[in-house]
Structure 1
Amino acid sequence: MTEKSSSKPPTWYWVVTVLALLWNLVGVWAYLGSAFMKDQIRADLSPEQAALFDSTPAWVTAAFAIATWGGLLGCIALLLRKKWAKPVLTLSLLAILVQMAHGFFMTNSVELYGQVQGLIIPLFVIIVGIALVFFARLADKKLWLS
Protein backbone atom coordinates (compact mmCIF):
# COMPACT_ATOMS: atom_id res chain seq x y z
CA MET A 1 0.00 0.00 0.00
CA THR A 2 1.35 3.39 -0.95
CA GLU A 3 0.90 6.39 1.33
CA LYS A 4 0.58 9.89 0.01
CA SER A 5 3.40 12.17 1.01
CA SER A 6 2.95 15.86 1.59
CA SER A 7 4.54 18.36 -0.71
CA LYS A 8 5.47 21.90 0.16
CA PRO A 9 2.76 24.44 -0.72
CA PRO A 10 3.66 27.52 -2.76
CA THR A 11 3.86 30.99 -1.26
CA TRP A 12 0.41 31.94 -2.57
CA TYR A 13 -1.07 29.11 -0.44
CA TRP A 14 0.17 30.86 2.69
CA VAL A 15 -1.05 34.27 1.48
CA VAL A 16 -4.55 32.91 0.78
CA THR A 17 -4.62 31.01 4.07
CA VAL A 18 -3.60 34.05 6.14
CA LEU A 19 -6.14 36.27 4.34
CA ALA A 20 -8.82 33.64 4.94
CA LEU A 21 -7.88 33.48 8.61
CA LEU A 22 -8.16 37.27 8.90
CA TRP A 23 -11.53 37.19 7.10
CA ASN A 24 -12.82 34.58 9.54
CA LEU A 25 -11.51 36.54 12.53
CA VAL A 26 -13.73 39.41 11.33
CA GLY A 27 -16.63 36.94 11.24
CA VAL A 28 -15.90 35.77 14.78
CA TRP A 29 -15.75 39.40 15.90
CA ALA A 30 -19.16 40.03 14.27
CA TYR A 31 -20.61 36.95 15.94
CA LEU A 32 -19.26 37.90 19.36
CA GLY A 33 -20.66 41.40 18.92
CA SER A 34 -24.10 40.09 18.05
CA ALA A 35 -24.03 37.58 20.90
CA PHE A 36 -22.60 39.73 23.68
CA MET A 37 -23.05 43.39 22.72
CA LYS A 38 -26.71 43.42 21.74
CA ASP A 39 -27.49 46.75 23.39
CA GLN A 40 -24.66 48.53 21.59
CA ILE A 41 -25.72 47.06 18.25
CA ARG A 42 -29.40 47.87 18.81
CA ALA A 43 -28.51 51.51 19.55
CA ASP A 44 -27.33 51.94 15.95
CA LEU A 45 -30.41 50.35 14.37
CA SER A 46 -33.71 51.78 13.26
CA PRO A 47 -36.75 50.49 15.20
CA GLU A 48 -37.60 48.13 12.31
CA GLN A 49 -34.04 46.82 12.12
CA ALA A 50 -33.96 46.36 15.91
CA ALA A 51 -37.21 44.37 15.75
CA LEU A 52 -35.69 42.11 13.07
CA PHE A 53 -32.49 41.73 15.11
CA ASP A 54 -34.50 40.84 18.23
CA SER A 55 -36.62 38.28 16.38
CA THR A 56 -33.66 36.26 15.11
CA PRO A 57 -34.37 32.61 15.95
CA ALA A 58 -31.92 30.64 18.06
CA TRP A 59 -31.21 28.26 15.17
CA VAL A 60 -29.99 31.19 13.05
CA THR A 61 -27.72 32.35 15.86
CA ALA A 62 -26.44 28.77 16.19
CA ALA A 63 -25.78 28.64 12.43
CA PHE A 64 -23.91 31.97 12.71
CA ALA A 65 -21.77 30.54 15.51
CA ILE A 66 -20.99 27.33 13.59
CA ALA A 67 -20.23 29.29 10.41
CA THR A 68 -17.80 31.69 12.06
CA TRP A 69 -16.07 29.38 14.53
CA GLY A 70 -15.95 26.60 11.92
CA GLY A 71 -14.42 28.98 9.39
CA LEU A 72 -11.80 30.08 11.91
CA LEU A 73 -10.99 26.50 12.90
CA GLY A 74 -10.84 25.43 9.25
CA CYS A 75 -8.38 28.22 8.45
CA ILE A 76 -6.24 27.24 11.42
CA ALA A 77 -6.26 23.69 10.03
CA LEU A 78 -5.12 25.08 6.66
CA LEU A 79 -2.28 26.92 8.40
CA LEU A 80 -1.34 23.66 10.12
CA ARG A 81 -1.74 21.84 6.77
CA LYS A 82 -4.28 19.37 8.17
CA LYS A 83 -6.78 17.39 6.09
CA TRP A 84 -9.55 18.04 8.59
CA ALA A 85 -9.73 21.56 7.15
CA LYS A 86 -12.00 20.18 4.39
CA PRO A 87 -14.83 18.83 6.55
CA VAL A 88 -14.66 21.75 8.97
CA LEU A 89 -14.83 24.33 6.16
CA THR A 90 -17.66 22.33 4.54
CA LEU A 91 -19.60 22.43 7.81
CA SER A 92 -18.93 26.15 8.03
CA LEU A 93 -20.27 26.63 4.49
CA LEU A 94 -23.43 24.66 5.28
CA ALA A 95 -23.99 26.84 8.35
CA ILE A 96 -23.46 29.96 6.23
CA LEU A 97 -26.10 28.74 3.78
CA VAL A 98 -28.58 28.05 6.61
CA GLN A 99 -27.96 31.47 8.15
CA MET A 100 -28.22 33.33 4.87
CA ALA A 101 -31.31 31.40 3.77
CA HIS A 102 -33.06 32.85 6.80
CA GLY A 103 -32.01 36.36 5.86
CA PHE A 104 -32.87 36.01 2.17
CA PHE A 105 -36.10 34.01 2.33
CA MET A 106 -37.64 34.47 5.77
CA THR A 107 -37.10 38.16 6.47
CA ASN A 108 -37.19 41.51 4.72
CA SER A 109 -33.51 42.18 5.51
CA VAL A 110 -32.70 43.60 2.07
CA GLU A 111 -35.51 46.11 2.44
CA LEU A 112 -34.47 47.05 5.98
CA TYR A 113 -30.69 47.06 5.60
CA GLY A 114 -30.33 48.00 1.93
CA GLN A 115 -28.56 46.30 -0.96
CA VAL A 116 -25.07 46.33 0.55
CA GLN A 117 -25.79 44.93 4.03
CA GLY A 118 -28.83 42.91 3.07
CA LEU A 119 -27.66 41.35 -0.18
CA ILE A 120 -24.11 42.05 -1.36
CA ILE A 121 -22.25 41.27 1.88
CA PRO A 122 -24.22 38.05 2.52
CA LEU A 123 -23.59 36.91 -1.07
CA PHE A 124 -19.90 37.69 -0.66
CA VAL A 125 -19.81 35.62 2.56
CA ILE A 126 -21.34 32.69 0.65
CA ILE A 127 -18.82 33.06 -2.19
CA VAL A 128 -15.88 33.14 0.23
CA GLY A 129 -17.25 30.07 2.03
CA ILE A 130 -17.52 28.17 -1.27
CA ALA A 131 -14.05 29.33 -2.30
CA LEU A 132 -12.54 28.11 0.97
CA VAL A 133 -14.05 24.65 0.55
CA PHE A 134 -12.64 24.43 -2.99
CA PHE A 135 -9.30 25.80 -1.77
CA ALA A 136 -9.09 23.09 0.91
CA ARG A 137 -9.97 20.44 -1.68
CA LEU A 138 -7.26 21.75 -4.00
CA ALA A 139 -4.73 21.79 -1.17
CA ASP A 140 -5.56 18.18 -0.37
CA LYS A 141 -5.38 17.14 -4.03
CA LYS A 142 -1.98 18.83 -4.35
CA LEU A 143 -0.84 16.91 -1.23
CA TRP A 144 -0.29 20.09 0.77
CA LEU A 145 -2.39 18.71 3.63
CA SER A 146 -1.64 15.70 5.77
Structure 2
Amino acid sequence: MNKPPTWFYVVAALALLWNLAGCTAFVADLQLTPEDLARLPEAQQALYRERPLWALVATGIAVIGGALGCICLLLRKRWATGLLIASLLGVLAQDVGLFVMMDHLKAASGVAPLLQGVVLLVAIGLVPLAGYANARGWTT
Protein backbone atom coordinates (compact mmCIF):
# COMPACT_ATOMS: atom_id res chain seq x y z
CA MET A 1 0.00 0.00 0.00
CA ASN A 2 1.35 3.39 -1.03
CA LYS A 3 1.23 6.42 1.22
CA PRO A 4 -1.04 9.19 -0.12
CA PRO A 5 0.26 12.74 -0.46
CA THR A 6 -0.58 15.41 2.08
CA TRP A 7 -3.16 17.03 -0.20
CA PHE A 8 -5.24 13.84 -0.05
CA TYR A 9 -5.49 14.03 3.74
CA VAL A 10 -6.30 17.74 3.60
CA VAL A 11 -9.09 17.22 1.06
CA ALA A 12 -10.49 14.21 2.95
CA ALA A 13 -10.41 16.11 6.25
CA LEU A 14 -12.15 19.16 4.76
CA ALA A 15 -14.75 16.89 3.17
CA LEU A 16 -15.28 15.21 6.54
CA LEU A 17 -15.85 18.59 8.19
CA TRP A 18 -18.29 19.48 5.39
CA ASN A 19 -20.22 16.24 5.90
CA LEU A 20 -20.19 16.62 9.69
CA ALA A 21 -21.75 20.05 9.23
CA GLY A 22 -24.39 18.32 7.10
CA CYS A 23 -24.95 15.75 9.86
CA THR A 24 -25.36 18.56 12.38
CA ALA A 25 -27.91 20.31 10.16
CA PHE A 26 -29.75 17.02 9.62
CA VAL A 27 -29.99 16.33 13.37
CA ALA A 28 -31.11 19.91 14.02
CA ASP A 29 -33.76 19.47 11.32
CA LEU A 30 -35.03 16.30 12.98
CA GLN A 31 -35.28 18.08 16.33
CA LEU A 32 -37.50 20.93 15.16
CA THR A 33 -40.61 21.12 17.28
CA PRO A 34 -44.03 22.25 16.03
CA GLU A 35 -43.39 25.52 17.85
CA ASP A 36 -40.09 25.96 16.00
CA LEU A 37 -41.83 25.32 12.68
CA ALA A 38 -44.59 27.81 13.52
CA ARG A 39 -41.94 30.56 13.84
CA LEU A 40 -40.67 29.97 10.29
CA PRO A 41 -41.93 31.98 7.32
CA GLU A 42 -44.95 30.38 5.64
CA ALA A 43 -42.94 29.27 2.60
CA GLN A 44 -40.51 27.33 4.80
CA GLN A 45 -43.38 25.86 6.79
CA ALA A 46 -44.83 24.59 3.51
CA LEU A 47 -41.49 22.95 2.68
CA TYR A 48 -41.55 21.04 5.96
CA ARG A 49 -45.23 20.11 5.67
CA GLU A 50 -44.97 18.77 2.14
CA ARG A 51 -41.53 17.15 2.32
CA PRO A 52 -41.89 13.43 1.62
CA LEU A 53 -40.41 11.00 4.13
CA TRP A 54 -38.20 9.45 1.44
CA ALA A 55 -36.53 12.84 0.89
CA LEU A 56 -35.71 13.04 4.60
CA VAL A 57 -34.30 9.49 4.52
CA ALA A 58 -32.25 10.42 1.43
CA THR A 59 -30.79 13.38 3.31
CA GLY A 60 -29.75 11.08 6.15
CA ILE A 61 -28.11 8.66 3.72
CA ALA A 62 -26.34 11.56 2.02
CA VAL A 63 -24.82 13.13 5.12
CA ILE A 64 -24.15 10.00 7.17
CA GLY A 65 -22.78 8.12 4.16
CA GLY A 66 -20.62 11.11 3.27
CA ALA A 67 -19.20 11.43 6.78
CA LEU A 68 -18.50 7.70 7.07
CA GLY A 69 -17.00 7.68 3.57
CA CYS A 70 -14.64 10.52 4.46
CA ILE A 71 -13.63 8.78 7.68
CA CYS A 72 -12.84 5.71 5.58
CA LEU A 73 -10.79 7.85 3.20
CA LEU A 74 -8.76 9.16 6.12
CA LEU A 75 -8.32 5.59 7.40
CA ARG A 76 -7.38 4.55 3.84
CA LYS A 77 -10.17 1.98 3.54
CA ARG A 78 -11.35 0.84 0.12
CA TRP A 79 -15.00 0.79 1.17
CA ALA A 80 -14.98 4.57 1.22
CA THR A 81 -15.99 4.34 -2.42
CA GLY A 82 -19.23 2.48 -1.71
CA LEU A 83 -20.16 4.82 1.12
CA LEU A 84 -19.48 7.89 -1.02
CA ILE A 85 -21.53 6.44 -3.88
CA ALA A 86 -24.40 5.85 -1.43
CA SER A 87 -23.98 9.45 -0.25
CA LEU A 88 -24.11 10.74 -3.83
CA LEU A 89 -27.26 8.72 -4.51
CA GLY A 90 -28.76 10.19 -1.34
CA VAL A 91 -27.94 13.70 -2.53
CA LEU A 92 -29.50 12.98 -5.93
CA ALA A 93 -32.68 11.63 -4.30
CA GLN A 94 -32.76 14.61 -1.96
CA ASP A 95 -32.47 16.91 -4.97
CA VAL A 96 -35.41 15.20 -6.64
CA GLY A 97 -37.41 15.86 -3.47
CA LEU A 98 -36.38 19.51 -3.51
CA PHE A 99 -37.12 19.96 -7.20
CA VAL A 100 -40.57 18.39 -6.76
CA MET A 101 -41.17 21.17 -4.24
CA MET A 102 -39.39 23.82 -6.29
CA ASP A 103 -42.18 26.41 -6.03
CA HIS A 104 -41.84 26.36 -2.25
CA LEU A 105 -38.06 26.24 -2.46
CA LYS A 106 -37.96 29.42 -4.57
CA ALA A 107 -40.21 31.15 -2.10
CA ALA A 108 -38.15 30.00 0.88
CA SER A 109 -34.72 31.33 -0.06
CA GLY A 110 -32.57 32.09 -3.06
CA VAL A 111 -29.55 30.62 -1.26
CA ALA A 112 -31.01 27.11 -0.86
CA PRO A 113 -30.69 26.03 -4.52
CA LEU A 114 -27.13 27.42 -4.66
CA LEU A 115 -26.13 25.59 -1.48
CA GLN A 116 -27.72 22.38 -2.75
CA GLY A 117 -25.69 22.74 -5.95
CA VAL A 118 -22.49 22.94 -3.89
CA VAL A 119 -23.59 19.87 -1.91
CA LEU A 120 -24.07 17.99 -5.17
CA LEU A 121 -20.68 19.06 -6.56
CA VAL A 122 -18.87 17.97 -3.40
CA ALA A 123 -20.66 14.60 -3.41
CA ILE A 124 -19.80 14.10 -7.08
CA GLY A 125 -16.15 15.04 -6.48
CA LEU A 126 -15.65 12.65 -3.58
CA VAL A 127 -16.54 9.55 -5.61
CA PRO A 128 -13.68 9.91 -8.13
CA LEU A 129 -11.35 10.93 -5.31
CA ALA A 130 -12.02 7.59 -3.63
CA GLY A 131 -11.57 5.79 -6.94
CA TYR A 132 -8.31 7.63 -7.51
CA ALA A 133 -7.10 6.62 -4.05
CA ASN A 134 -7.99 3.00 -4.78
CA ALA A 135 -6.25 3.07 -8.16
CA ARG A 136 -3.08 4.57 -6.64
CA GLY A 137 -2.95 1.88 -3.97
CA TRP A 138 -3.59 4.31 -1.12
CA THR A 139 -6.37 2.15 0.33
CA THR A 140 -6.73 -1.42 1.52
- When normalised by structure 2's length, the TM-score is 0.93
SS of the residue 2:102 aligns to: coil
**Within 5 A, what are the aligned runs for 1:52-91?**
52-91=47-86
**Within 5 A, what are the aligned runs for 1:89-104?**
89-104=84-99
**Within 5 A, what are the aligned runs for 1:1-146?**
6-39=1-34, 42=37, 45-117=40-112, 119-146=113-140
Distance in 2 of aligned mates of 1:30 and 1:61? 12
Structure 2: give runs of 5+ residues left out of the alignment: none
Contact residue 87 and residue 123 of structure 2 kept, 8 A? yes
Stretch of structure 1 that moved more, 45-54 or 88-97:
45-54
**Counterpart of 2:73 in structure 1: which amino acid?**
L
SS of the residue 1:108 aligns to: helix
Contact residue 64 and residue 95 of structure 1 kept, 8 A? yes
Contact residue 34 and residue 41 of structure 1 kept, 8 A? no
How many aligned positions are there? 140
Deviations 1:30-75 (A, max 9, x none): 1101111344752552112112212211111100111111001101
Distance in 2 of aligned mates of 1:83 and 1:8? 14
Percentage of identical aligned residues = 40
Q: Which residue of 2 aligns with 1:3?
A: none
**Counterpart of 1:100 in structure 2: which amino acid?**
D
Compute the RMSD of aligned alpha carbons: 1.5
- When normalised by structure 1's length, the TM-score is 0.89
Distance in 2 of aligned mates of 1:78 and 1:43? 41
